[in-house]
Amino acid sequence: MKRGRKPDGASPSQPLADSETVVLNLIKGKKNMGIWLADIKREAKLQPAVVDKSLASLVKKNLIKQVKNIQNKARKHYMAVEFEPSEELTGGAWYNEGNLDKELINILKETCLKVINKLQVTTAQGIFDFLKDRKAINCTIGQISEILRSMVLDNAIIEVKSSGLGEYHSIPLGAVCYRIASAATATGPKTVGAMASIPCGVCPRINECTPDGIISPKTCEYYTKWLEF
């Protein structure tokens, strides 16, 4: 989910130079995706020194800001102050100031494991409702679902479908649910869910994979074949 637009930023205390106007309009045109410094210099068709001076002035006037791009943290990336960076730039809820929030991920994994252990078998929604009712942790159902998929790949839990009977009586028939990997099932031998066979689980470049990056599920032939299986 992309973040919305903020109220317009402060107006400059003095008129903008022609070069500043060119640079500002170029950056504003990129909206919540912003633009890389090298692209500004290429598209503005101004002398590099003029672009640098204009950027410094626009930042000082609080009309633009520099933002982090998780795709390439070394690049200087600019955006108009009235926009919030898209999740494609920030990485979404799992990133904090451009860095993967490993502490949040670990806390959610531990918390989900405790809830599943307590409930024996439950759905992502069940875990979310359990935590929400107790105000135990502030997270979204989407985050819970992503964490559970990760835990399946780690073999910490297994993914099963509700039979609607016995311990599954409170879960709709066919609903995807989760239980501790070491727990015995009441309906027979446990079976690792289909998610455990996803090629991402053994991919050596999984940490470099992003939705719109050079390495991406969209362009991965192994992932595509897995989806077609």
Q: What is the pLDDT of residue 93?
A: 60
Q: Are residues 30 and 84 in the same domain?
A: yes
5 within a domain of the structure (yes/no): no
Last residue of a domain, one of 42, 70, 92: 92
As a whole number of angstroms, the distance between CA 137 and CA 190 comes to: 30
Residue 10 in 3-state DSSP?
coil
**Judgement on whether residues 179 and 217 belong to the same structural domain of the protein:** no
**Confidence at residue 218, expressed as pLDDT on a 0 to 100 scale:** 63
Is residue 223 left, alpha or beta, with left meaning phi > 0 and alpha meaning psi from -120 to 50?
A: alpha
CA-CA distance, 205 to 189, in Å (whole number)?
A: 33
Residues 149 and 72 placed together within one structural domain of the fold: no
Regarding whether 191 and 153 lie in a shared domain, the answer is yes
Range(s) of the domain holding residue 227: 198-229
Q: How many domains does the chain have?
A: 3
pLDDT in tens, the chain (229 residues): 444 555 444 444 567 889 999 999 999 998 888 889 999 999 999 999 999 999 999 999 999 998 887 767 778 889 899 988 776 676 656 666 556 667 778 888 888 999 998 889 999 999 999 888 887 677 788 888 888 988 998 888 999 988 888 888 888 888 999 998 764 333 333 444 444 445 555 465 666 666 667 776 667 765 555 444 4
**Residues 111, 57 share a domain:** no
0.85 surpassed by pTM: no
Write out the two tokens for 12: 């400059």
Is residue 11 included in any domain, yes or no? no
Residue type, 19: S
Asked, for residue 136, whether it belongs to a domain, the answer is yes
Which of 61, 92, 123 is the last residue in one of the domains?
Answer: 92
Could you give the angle at the alpha carbon of 157 between the alpha carbons of 153 and 161, nearest 5°? 100
Q: Which residues contact 119 (CB under 8 A, 6 or more apart)?
A: 126, 127, 130
**CATH for 87:** 1.10.10.10
Same domain, 127 and 64: no
- Domain end point (choices 73, 92, 111): 92
What is the bridge-based pairing of β-strands 35-36 and 77-80? antiparallel
